[in-house]
Chains A and B, each alone.
Chain A
Amino acid sequence: MSSVHAGRLLLAATVLATASFAAGTAAAQNLSLVERTGGGHTIAAVEVVSRWERLIPSARTAITVQPGDDYDIARMRTTLQNLYALGTVANVRVEASAAAGGLLLRFVLEPQVHLWDVHFTGERPWSKGRLRAALSVREGDALDAEALGNQETRLQQALADDGYLLAAVSGKIVEGDTPARGILELHITPGAQARLADVSITTDGGIAGSELAIALALPAGSPYRPIVFEEALDRVRARLLQSNFFFHETRVVEQSLDLSDNSMWLEVEVAVGPRVDLDFSGQPFSEEILRQRLAVFEFGTVDDWALKDSRHELVRWLQERGHWRPLVSYSRDRDEQGRNTSVRFRVLAGRTAKLVRIEFTGTDRVAASTLAATIRSQPAGFLAPRRFISDWWLEDQRAVTTSYRRRGFSEASVVNARARYDEQAGGVVATMSVQEGPISRVRSVDVTLLGSDAPSSIDSSLWATALQLYPGGPFDPGAVRRDADLLRALLASVGYPRAIVTSDAERDDEGVAITHTVVPGVLQRVGKVLIAGNDATRDNVIERELAFASGAPFSFADLLETQSRLYATGLFSQVDVAPAVSDDLEVTQPLVVRVQEAPPMFITYGAGFDTEEKVRGTFTIGHNNIAGRNQELSFSTRASVREQRFRVLFREPYFLGRRTEGTATAFYTNEQEASFKVQRYGVSFQLLVQHSDRVASLPRLVFRDTSTFDVEINPRLIRPEDQSTRVGALTYSLIVDTRPNPINPTSGFYGTTDVELATRMLGSNTNFVTVLGRWFGYRRLTDRLTLALGARAGIKIPHSGSDSIPLPERFFAGGSTTLRGFQLDGAGPVDDSGNPLGGRVLLISNIELRAQLWGELGGVAFADFGNVFAQAGTITWREVRETVGIGIRYSTPVGPIRFDFARLMDRRVGEDRYQVFFSIGHTF
């Protein structure tokens, strides 16, 4: 051991070193207690007390000292840390008294007060909302004397900023209906708001003081607010800049408050400096554009950097408008102090042109189309009138070089890049010449584990397929760092969050040898899991969402996953999952799951309009934490001119203790269909089995009683027993959803495939099988164009003696979401009067080309094909109906507002040629 380490040892282990000097003194207070009790350090019993009983259950789980243990400062500290980390305990006193066999330890817990409400007393110069907004503390934040002092200061400062210069704020924390709920009571004595006695502003010429006084706009007698005064000074500065006084100086030379009448005297002096003569010639720029875009105006300076930046910006502005090669120059004159006092910009805008083509040369080993996909410049196309922007072209050259480097061409470079106007092509052709150079390949990739803690549990399979660089593959220098990061992330996911990875790349004739040296450090495991903050919610509801278990390797990813799952329950407004203390030397990390419950009652309501339902309203009221089990009971209704629905729902997220959502529903609906009215009431029970993020299945048992009224269909075509029915059915649905954005999908797939078996064995008075598939796919064609394709196919087959499908159970089609050439349910077989009869077979396909036109505004062109057929045998090409149309979309956070105009291409007698639809959401 070196002398340095010996010295460290001597002092570092002070604790025990001291023991040898202090033997026999028994001076510690702990010892005096021990001596008095005569019980030694053994803990005989542990009590937990608090003036708030709710703290006690979670505190018990946090206490690690147990009867029979010897007292140990470190273990006691761990317990205290656990208790504090709960977030519900502000302070802990541990008291001891003599007991049989040792010490009786009593943990006295002081509840942590959290802000529940804020009360303002005294004279309120502002509304409560404004006073509240001035505070930084939010509901649920911990409250203590320090927080109280901070809020007093903040409010006082906010009042002073509004002219209440003599305001005083004093506060206290009052206990709410539980000891954990604190009410912040702030008493305000605002005093009178200061008023402006006089503001004088003087200048040294160039611009009249009276003109600046107008810009200042602070009349005598008006309230004095420091912020408003600063804003007024900014207006003065803006006014000076507007007159090109870029060298001005504004100074407040007098600022005095007369306490006798609370009036403020202000005196401002302005040294305007020389006026800058700015001239733009050659292109008629509007004043607004110049002031918005140019640095000389934005920063109020004509320093050389600002002139260069302004020149660059003018070039850019012209290029964005199609001037493919604008020329901008400037000249300036300086005064005797070296200031640019006269600046003249000369602009030659040049001809306008689109960027019609981008060519690559010298690209033997990487396809030009691959390179084109990596650059920002793109040739003009449909709905994309692209220009040549020189900034982008420079970025593109770097992007191409990077793209080559990533493929192992470490010496690749762009040797020439130019753009020319091509008369024949009718626009700008940009050409980039590349020198590829030789390709470097990875010879070997080694991962070496170092350190005495190197665990056998880490094997190469962990990263075998994950690393970007592999033997024989191209060598990308940047990927070495990315692979090192990946290794750290992989190790963190198996309990080594502080692993050190150093990487080395050695090149020789045979390629590049890469070595990652890993020092994993100590394996950290999850220790005790402490749950706090749940008042109504049961512990097991939180525990079942944990992505980790006590004893498992510690992983930050699991912490985030847990947090995400707990938020997804809808029970909590705040969730924190973190180690009780972040100490990487500890091999076990106690984890604290701290939650803040959201109100369990919820009410939602809304209203809307579309051309099929006209005005529509929705209302839901419910409770999502019945008995603290995250069970939901809700009542919802939806009503429009066409339909009324009422539903009572009970949802259990963990049916029979498994991660499967079970939902029981009782419902009643009353709908106006195209040729009849229908009432349904019934019950259903369904399970939602989530197989993965993208695949789910939905088995369901349903019983519904359906009655039709006001049937307008020719009685000869519909039997009385087919007009009303009772259905008991078992349904299975498979749902696949790969859309990244379900609200406005531009890629992915969404499909449901349903099979329903209605049988007398389940209480049905008719037997039939339904198979129905709905599949929709989306593909982005360009950054503005998306192709959406949809297909729906279904069939209903009577069985076991039944020979028909009851009217309300049949397929209907037509309307804004199916076949837009028809009004709602208007497609398919009809009677003599044109009343839809529905059918047993449904075939629909939709094609939509969706374009983003401008901002949130988009347009679509669509074609719908298909129909409802009475039976499979009646399907003919002639009966496949065709609709084309166009539409407008306006994107909103809840989906696009939709306006569609459809034309039925094969119109027949009695059918309308055009349909117009207005609604919210894409067709599919």
Chain B
Amino acid sequence: MIAAQAGAQTGELFDGIAAVVNGEVISIGEVRRTALLAREESLGIGELCAAQSGLAMEPALGNQPATPSPIPGASDRELSPAELQRARECLIDTRLVFREVRRFPRVGADDERIDAMMDALTAQFETPAAFAAEMRRLGMGLEEIRSDLRRQLLVGEYVDGRFRATVEITEEQARAAWAQEFVPNMETEGVPVPAFEEVANDYVIPILRQREVNRRVQSWILDLRERATIRRMYP
């Protein structure tokens, strides 16, 4: 390793500290990658953040329209400061959530489940070489992916136990939402409206439950932010 004095020829900003959350570093590389993925996946940062932190993962969510990418076709452009800021804030939330989750004892995500998830993931690529190439392109290692999956599982279990388990949607609430929100939306879009009883258990109630879970999680995250020490350095 070479030690050099300041003032030597400087290069392009490559990585560094983007933020520090309760002493835990978020790197510029992580921020850039998150912002890029959000753009490429056409996900709103909020959704990507939820996914990365393991918070909102019910299949029911998929029934809601994804937030369109703020910059269509942006994958060819430089990342904007606003995109980077949103990505940074998303990672801050992720860190806060996981820090809170790991305060509580639990059995832990077992390796078999993670192995299965890894298998499913690699199966999305035509060859192992293609999988490895993408990992390399994104600057990721197998251990990092496994570690992320483990975190996401733990957060999911925590959210299930703390929030989802206590959310109850009554039939009256479901009927009211169905009549006041779902039916008008479908009519506006010209979609045939099924009977409430046909979709209540598989569609309406899961969505309403997820909304309530999301509301509580958001409130929880706001509280975590208020109690945290956060330093922001980049962008």
Contact = CB atoms under 8 A, between A and B. Distances in A.
Interface string B2-25: 111110111111111100100111
A586 B143 CA distance: 10
A28 interface: yes
Contact of B40 (A27, A74, A94): A27
A30 B139 contact: yes
B187 interface: no
Interface string A13-41: 11111111111011111110100000001
Interface in B137-158: 137-141, 143-145, 147-153, 156
A69 to B, nearest CB: 11
A12 B1 contact: no
Given A29-B79, A47-B1, A76 B27 contact: yes
A11 B56 CA distance: 9
Contact of B139 (A3, A41, A94, A521): A41
Contacts of B156: 8
B57 A4 contact: yes
Contact of B4 (A14, A18, A85, A106): A106
B148 A12 contact: yes
A49 B40 CA distance: 35
B116 interface: yes
A50 B145 CA distance: 33
B191 interface: no
Task: Count chain A CB atoms within 10 A of each CB in B2, B26, B110 and give the residue with the most.
Answer: B2
A811 interface: no
A106 B2 CA distance: 9
A26 B134 CA distance: 11
Given A15-B138, A19-B134, A25-B40, A94 B150 contact: no
Contacts of B135: 16, 19
B105 interface: yes
Contacts of A6: 59, 120
Interface stretch (B47-55, B173-181, B192-200, B219-227): B47-55
A9 B120 contact: yes
Nearest to B139: A73
A495 to B, nearest CB: 15
Contacts of A50: 6
Contacts of B40: 18, 21-22, 25, 27
B141 A13 contact: no
B4 A1 contact: no
Contact of B37 (A15, A108, A581): A15
B231 interface: yes
Contacts of A30: 14, 29, 32, 139
Nearest to B39: A27
B122 to A, nearest CB: 8
B227 to A, nearest CB: 15
Contacts of A18: 37, 40-41
A311 B77 CA distance: 80
B116 A1 contact: yes
Nearest to B23: A581
B30 interface: yes
A73 B57 contact: no
Contacts of B136: 41, 70
B17 A11 contact: no
Contacts of B106: 500
Contact of A146 (B29, B79, B231): B231
Interface stretch (A97-105, A619-627, A660-668): A97-105
B143 A9 contact: no
Contacts of A7: 57-59, 61-62
Given A18-B37, A74-B140, A93 B13 contact: yes
Contact of B17 (A13, A33, A91, A144): A91
A20 B124 contact: yes
A19 B139 CA distance: 12
Contact of A12 (B9, B54, B110): B54
A84 B25 contact: yes
Contacts, number: 246
B17 A27 contact: no
Contacts of B9: 97
Contacts of B117: 1, 5, 8-9, 12-13
Interface in B94-116: 102, 105-108, 110-113, 116
Contact of A8 (B27, B30, B76, B153): B153
B92 interface: no
Given A7-B57, A92-B17, A519-B107, A16 B145 contact: yes
A431 to B, nearest CB: 47
A14 B105 contact: no
A51 interface: yes
Given A18-B41, A70-B136, A97-B11, A13 B145 contact: yes
B203 interface: no
Interface residues of A, number: 83
Contacts of A500: 105-107
Contacts of A522: 108
Task: Count chain B CB atoms within 10 A of each CB in A7, A18, A21, A31 and give the residue with the most.
Answer: A18
A81 B4 CA distance: 21
Contacts of B41: 14, 17-18, 21-22
A49 B140 contact: no
Nearest to A499: B105
Task: Count chain A CB atoms within 10 A of each CB in B11, B56, B152 and give the residue with the most.
Answer: B11
B107 A47 contact: no
Contacts of A395: none
A3 B36 CA distance: 28
A498 interface: yes
B29 A25 contact: no
A583 interface: yes
B113 A72 contact: no
B113 A49 contact: no
B118 to A, nearest CB: 8
Given A21-B40, A97-B9, A80 B134 contact: no
A461 interface: no
Nearest to B144: A74
A582 B152 CA distance: 17
B189 interface: no
Contact of B105 (A48, A97, A498): A498
A495 B3 CA distance: 36
B129 interface: no
B76 A25 contact: yes
A385 to B, nearest CB: 51
B121 interface: yes
A17 B43 CA distance: 12
B172 interface: no
B145 A15 contact: yes
Contacts of A9: 117, 120-121, 149
B216 interface: no
A103 B13 CA distance: 12
Contacts of A53: 5
A71 interface: yes
A80 B144 contact: no
Contact of B59 (A3, A60, A73, A498): A3
A63 interface: yes
A108 B58 CA distance: 43
B182 interface: no
Given A15-B145, A27-B75, A92 B105 contact: no
Given A20-B124, A77-B29, 12 more contacts: A4-B57, A5-B113, A11-B47, A11-B50, A11-B51, A14-B41, A26-B137, A27-B75, A73-B140, A74-B140, A77-B30, A84-B17
Top 3 A-B pairs, shortest CB-CB distance: A97-B11, A19-B134, A11-B51
Interface of A: 1, 3-9, 11-23, 25-31, 33, 41, 45-51, 53, 56, 60, 63, 66-67, 70-77, 80-81, 84-85, 91-97, 103-106, 108, 144, 146, 451-453, 498, 500, 519, 521-522, 581-586
16 contacts: A1-B117, A6-B120, A7-B58, A12-B57, A14-B37, A15-B145, A21-B41, A28-B32, A48-B1, A66-B1, A73-B30, A74-B147, A92-B17, A106-B4, A452-B111, A584-B102
